[in-house]
């Protein structure tokens, strides 16, 4: 087939020392056509690395497809053939200009519109000659891959286990033996607290707004100091720690923004932790909490 499809003659056939390659029948076949057989040394699979690595790739692909479809190990042959069909139509860097093996072999671009999900359910049309007048026009089948030398699909009838080759089918690519698959699952959507928005609104206020708000709430500050201290402590932790994203990239605030917010909350926390509020800088420095007031002033200056 290689010679008739490409117009070139096969000169060498390299393989390991498997019994299927050292049979008398294959030796006669190669001798009649002038093909030289090459065998790797015993127990040296690394000398046949390309084939060994591709075997591993096909096995891994087949395992994933069977797990996804919920099919047993008895379907490994169909899964490997389907994996090979897909790999031959995938671009590879081993070929110039990242072409697929299929494109290099046939000089045609592969048609990908007919690809389906392995193991999904499908209703395959029953030919008119094989059904009575009131029989069902289709049968429920499993999709097992692609016909080798035909432009058709391979199916297994669910009720009888018979293999069918057909091109007339309605695929249900989200339904399998173990139940439907929801490909539009929204469980990965991340919901963030509104607390970040509240912080942005709080930072967007002017100094006059903050002063008027402080004057209005001065009478109730002592009764709610514990609640404010707890809230601001939580705000400080949330401002300094960027939340970890789940399955999507979340660009958190810049380091400058985080450090400024952290210092603002720290200064507010220190002010709240002091008892009576002094009215002047001199009275603050002469009070028993002068050290805390000095630390709050330094932190406020550094944030400017």
Query: pLDDT by residue (tens digit) across 252-286?
Result: 555 444 455 555 555 555 555 555 566 777 777 87
Domains of the chain: 2-106 (3.30.420.10), 121-180 (no CATH), 195-303 (no CATH)
For the whole model, what pTM was predicted?
Answer: 0.57
Query: pLDDT by residue (tens digit) across 171-200?
Result: 999 999 987 777 666 554 445 455 555 555
Examine the pLDDT at 202 and tell me if it is beyond 90. Answer: no
Examine the pLDDT at 219 and tell me if it is beyond 80. Answer: no
62-71, 143-152, 284-293: range with lowest mean pLDDT: 284-293
Token pair of 56 as six digits: 């591993």
Across all residues in the chain, what is the average pLDDT?
78
Choice between 300 and 10, residue whose per-residue pLDDT is larger: 10
CA–CA gap between residue 168 and residue 30 (Å, rounded): 41
Query: pLDDT by residue (tens digit) across 89-102?
Result: 999 888 877 889 99
pLDDT of residue 115: 96
Examine the pLDDT at 61 and tell me if it is beyond 70. Answer: yes
Q: What is the mean pLDDT of residues 222-234?
A: 50
């Amino acid at each position: 087939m290689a010679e008739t499809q490409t117009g070139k003659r096969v000169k060498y056939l390299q393989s390991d020392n498997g019994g299927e390659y050292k049979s008398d029948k294959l030796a006669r076949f190669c001798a009649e056509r002038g093909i030289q057989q090459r065998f790797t040394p015993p127990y040296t699979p690394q000398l046949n690395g390309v084939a060994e690595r591709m075997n591993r790739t096909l096995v891994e692909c087949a395992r994933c497809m069977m797990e996804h479809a919920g099919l047993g190990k008895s379907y490994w042959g169909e899964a490997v053939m389907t994996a090979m069909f897909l790999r031959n139509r995938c671009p590879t860097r081993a070929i110039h200009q990242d072409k697929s093996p299929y494109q290099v072999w046939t000089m045609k671009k592969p048609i990908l519109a007919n690809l389906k999900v392995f193991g999904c359910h499908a209703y395959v049309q029953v030919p008119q000659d094989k059904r009575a007048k009131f029989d069902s026009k289709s049968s429920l089948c499993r999709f097992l891959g692609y016909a080798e030398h035909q432009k058709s699909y391979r199916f297994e009838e669910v009720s009888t286990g018979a293999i069918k080759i057909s091109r007339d089918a309605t695929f249900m690519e989200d339904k399998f033996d173990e139940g439907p698959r929801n490909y539009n699952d929204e469980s990965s959507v991340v919901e963030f607290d509104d607390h970040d928005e509240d912080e942005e609104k709080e930072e967007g206020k002017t100094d006059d707004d903050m002063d008027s708000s402080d004057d209005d709430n001065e009478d109730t500050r002592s009764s709610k100091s514990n609640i404010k201290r707890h809230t601001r402590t939580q705000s400080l932790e949330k401002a300094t720690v960027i939340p970890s994203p789940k399955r999507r990239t979340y660009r958190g605030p810049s380091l400058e923004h985080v450090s400024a917010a952290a210092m603002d909350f720290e200064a507010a926390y220190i002010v709240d932790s002091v008892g009576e509020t002094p009215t002047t800088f001199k009275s603050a420095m002469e009070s028993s909490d002068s050290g805390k007031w000095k630390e709050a002033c330094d932190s406020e200056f550094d944030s400017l």
